[in-house]
Structure 1
């Protein structure tokens, strides 16, 4: 039997190269804490991890959008609360006017305060959101409400607020339009206040005008309350969606850890085993190469 000299070296040299590479790989796993460095380490797990990373990125985008929508709804509720306070004060003034005989000074004082309330409501209706857009403006328009030369205030927007995507195929509106929040027709808060103020400024018996104002203001308050309830319901839904994303993220992180992270105890044991075999192979190779071919064949 003829034994090629190359065989004496190639086989153990190849084994030592493999063992050295394996030791390096395990040491890298221990140092980085990651079991999988490249796709070749575990192709199936690598593909799953790539999918998890994409899902994490997607959920991050949904979470950011949810945060934006929550901020808009919180701002909507706060602003509507201020509107409600102004309307309640106007209702108190209308009740006061309907329940007694007013002097000219009383009428002038109430009219002046109502004008201030109307101005405040006009400012609130044109509140801008955190993005710089009209909070109650609908889909388009630089402002939600405009005031004509004769003092008439009207809605300037069009359509519904743009929906914010919060999940695959799911979106939500972060606010409401002014026409929904502040009523329209006989309950248009701007028209109601303008009509009542005009009656006060005209003088005479204003009981009928006060009664009409009370009806209109109650209608406007009802619209504001409905708008706040709608915003509150959407905010509660967003809280659930945000919680769902957190739960999904925690579950995904647990799965990722099981796939990707290094089990240090197991890795150290494998490293020690690999190094022991490598050292034994190196020792054997050194002894082998110190023999002459004659000694080897003998």
Structure 2
């Protein structure tokens, strides 16, 4: 094959351009801190990077769902703990009010305290978080109770959230399954104290209070077990994310020291190719005629 000046110059320019591209790529890697800036840099590694990023985003969404459920359960547990205190106080007053040695004025005083406890229980039942009522089922914008004598305004549905692929957990409790029994017991107690029906107060009504207390404790235990499960799930996702973040870093992040060394080597290669090109192109026919 006949070599011409044009062919030599074209080959030289192509080689110089390739060396310059390598130099530019190393410069860009140092500037961004990433080995892969476009899929064409390394298609296989780019695919693995996208897979890890997808997993991390999914896990972050699961963690967000878990945090939402945990906040809801924490608030519910605090409300039920306060509810238990109210019912325990009502039980003490029921036992005291059933004492036949009390006169009606004393029972009326107890009745007034029970009314206050019932109204406070309404406030507990209407507990909200972020403007959403936690005991209204799916009707989270509807106040579940207006007072202790009116029926439940929410629905009987449980809120649930996905905490892993195809795995959901219920994290709410509709108010009617918790508070209806308690309000019924308090209304009966108010009526018994008003009429002086100590026999009913010490038997049927007291049993209703005990049932309401046990019901409250049962739901508290159930929420506590769910909270523990959510905590374990959250820790698992955090551990998985740490591992996948490390793997993603190994694929994407540059080794600064190694890249600087490669950059200097490539700079030397480029300078050498420029010097060699200058020597090749410089002579002309006139130089040889001289």
Query: In the alignment, what sits opposite 1:249?
Result: 241
User: 2:173 matched to which residue of 1?
Assistant: 176
Query: Structure 1: where are the runs of 5+ without partners?
Result: none
RMSD of the alignment, in Å? 2.0
Counterpart in the other structure of 1:285 = 277
- SS of 1:36 mapped into structure 2: coil
How far 1:100 sits from its partner (Å)? 4.9
Match of 1:64 in 2: 64
Q: After TM superposition, which residue ranges in structure 1, 4 or more long, deviate above 4 angstroms?
A: 293-296
Distance 2:258 2:129 in 1: 54
Q: Deviations over 1:49-82 (max 9, x none)?
A: 1222222222222222111111110110011111
State the TM-score, normalizing by the size of structure 2: 0.92
Q: Which residue of 1 aligns with 2:29?
A: 29
- Please point out which of 164, 171, 175 is paired with 1:167: 164
Q: Which residue of 1 aligns with 2:251?
A: 259
* Aligned twin of 1:45: 45
C-alpha spacing 1:158/1:2, structure 2 compared with 1 (3 Å): closer
* Equivalent residue in structure 2 for 1:199, among 192, 198, 211: 192
The count of corresponding residues between Structure 1 and Structure 2 is 287
> Contact 1:97–1:207 at 8 Å: present in 2 too?
no
Q: Which residue of 2 aligns with 1:113?
A: 113
SS across alignment from 1:154: coil
* Partner deviation per Cα, 1:214-241 (whole Å, 9 max, x = no partner): 2111111111111111111111111111
Q: Who is 1:137 aligned against?
A: 136
Q: CA deviation at 1:258?
A: 0.4
* Corresponding residue for residue 213 of structure 1: 205
Tell me if the contact between 2:66 and 2:230 (Cα under 8 Å) persists in the aligned partners. Answer: yes
- Match status 1:190 vs 2:183: yes
2:36–2:46 CA contact under 8 A, matched in 1: yes
Task: Name the CA distance, whole Å, in 1 between partners of 2:285 and 2:229.
Answer: 82
SS at match of 1:78: helix
Q: Which residue of 2 aligns with 1:81?
A: 81
Q: TM-score, normalised by structure 1?
A: 0.89
Which whole-Å CA distance do the structure 1 matches of 2:154 and 2:20 have between them? 71
Task: Give me the whole-angstrom Cα distance separating, in 1, the residues matched to 2:32 and 2:285.
Answer: 46
In structure 2, runs of 5+ residues without a counterpart are none
How many Å separate the matches in 1 of 2:136 and 2:229?
Answer: 23
DSSP-derived class of the 1:152 partner: coil
Bigger CA drift: 104-113 or 2-11?
Answer: 2-11
Task: State how far apart, in whole Å, the 1-side matches of 2:212 and 2:262 are.
Answer: 75
